[in-house]
Chains A and B, each alone.
Chain A
């Protein structure tokens, strides 16, 4: 299968300090790829560079073979790459329905089917359609953030720590949804601190440490790896 995203030698620095030091990774079309690593390893920065929010110092990011570095975030969204940001970031002053509609901001066609699709995935959101998003629980907000991202009809959905701060049962739901979305043909690039969950569903995984990719393999390979077990899965030999 072809690679929908290819990241080559991505370097990002904030005020002279390099947060990402030349990473290379590929995201094959239709797969779930995860990038795991500790806080501050450069995971979020990588996703923000892909979505155009952060301008990398140097990089080549190919999407379907075309260079997207230097493009504006709205162009990148219009091409089919969307990001579910860390901490949900739903618009608290907009209703649930408006949050979903704003996810489709660049689209001019009818949203009815897409809304129906999101409401089928997340029945809770239908019940709360007219509620302000700020009044939702953390789990519901995460569902809304994912639903909002789906409204742009993405080819690639990137998720930044979707399990952050959620109850274990809710986390399970979210991971189920990620797999459902993926089965519908959407490529998923997932970053997580919850390495165990992420590796279990990932086809391909990368480990990032202080801005450098230190390991890669299939999800199962990394799950079985002794170093990974010790560093990220909290298991001793």
Chain B
């Protein structure tokens, strides 16, 4: 492998890794607060892609307006799902809410099939994002180049929000103790909704970045990326935002290099092997907190 090719693959890997990171944050944050694996998250990501098609193709909106519409619609979808499918189960056993999440996932896939048919729909091209730029012997599309930059910028803002604002402090408190948080006067439902807002916002951004270089969207398009990002979150230590980001980048890079080495069919297998290995060796993930049951 030449140096140029190596750098090219690195860039591709970091770029796809950045997208995985954005989606993995949604899994990890919801888990951190509700102890729920939101299986519908990958399908929310898929719905965001259809929102983009609608805004740009059906309503012929310019891309910058379309992105705002997509983000808004995705956030509304996510918060609505939380209200309808998860909130009523707040005091139910953990298993019930997880099954509800699986139900929502299938629901979204089937609604998408019903509304948009199972046939792949072409994803609109955003002119400047698909432009090819070359520097130092590497040529790549703008989207591949800006994805990791955007990812790191959002992660930085998110960390500031979590660690240095009042709502961030409330999120950390609610993630530890619902009841005591209520005693502080925190409206926990608001904090939970806010968590979904962040997760869906990042999933919407991730969706635009993910589908732009890809030709089409179909109702199951969110399920495999969703699973991979879930694995990224588990790998990094579910509940930890930096962990999810690192997990996303690691999976993106290894996937790309496996493909580069000529084992394309094997790249997804590798991701799942990674899940099994991490669960066997370090079940709490790289940055996960130990869960100690207090008696």
Q: Chain A: residues with CB nearer than 8 A to chain B?
A: 51-53, 72-74, 77-78, 82-83, 85, 89, 91-94, 98, 101-103, 105-106, 148, 152
Contact = CB atoms under 8 A, between A and B. Distances in A.
Contacts of B172: 91, 93-94
A85 B184 contact: no
A82 B173 CA distance: 17
Interface stretch (B8-16, B57-65, B175-183): B175-183
A82 B169 contact: no
A94 B177 CA distance: 12
Given A53-B182, A72-B187, A94-B173, 10 more contacts: A52-B182, A74-B185, A83-B183, A89-B177, A91-B176, A91-B180, A94-B172, A102-B173, A102-B186, A103-B184
Query: 5 closest Cβ contacts across the A-B interface?
Result: A106-B185, A77-B185, A73-B182, A74-B185, A89-B180
A153 to B, nearest CB: 12
Contacts of B180: 85, 89, 91
A78 B185 contact: yes
A72 B170 CA distance: 17
B166 interface: yes
Contacts, number: 54
A102 B183 contact: no
Contacts of A102: 169-170, 173, 184, 186
Contacts of A93: 172, 175-176
Contacts of A83: 183
B185 A105 contact: yes
A46 to B, nearest CB: 15
Contacts of B179: 53, 85, 89
A131 B177 CA distance: 19
A74 B182 contact: yes
Contacts of B187: 72, 74
Contact of A82 (B170, B175, B177, B183): B183
A102 to B, nearest CB: 5
20 contacts: A52-B182, A53-B179, A53-B182, A72-B187, A73-B182, A73-B183, A77-B184, A77-B185, A89-B180, A91-B173, A91-B180, A93-B172, A93-B176, A94-B172, A101-B169, A102-B184, A105-B170, A105-B186, A148-B184, A152-B184
A91 B170 CA distance: 10
Contacts of B169: 94, 98, 101-102
Contacts of B182: 52-53, 73-74
A72 B172 CA distance: 21
Most buried by B among A74, A85, A106: A74
A85 to B, nearest CB: 6
A105 B173 CA distance: 11
A53 B183 contact: yes
A72 B169 CA distance: 21
B165 to A, nearest CB: 11
B192 to A, nearest CB: 14
Most buried by A among B166, B169, B177, B185: B185
B290 to A, nearest CB: 12
Interface in B155-209: 166, 169-170, 172-173, 175-177, 179-180, 182-187
Contacts of B170: 102, 105
Contacts of A152: 184-185
B185 A92 contact: no
Contacts of A98: 169
A127 to B, nearest CB: 22
A92 B185 CA distance: 18
Contacts of A92: 176
Contacts of A85: 179-180, 183
Nearest to B173: A91
Most buried by B among A82, A93, A152: A93
A152 to B, nearest CB: 7
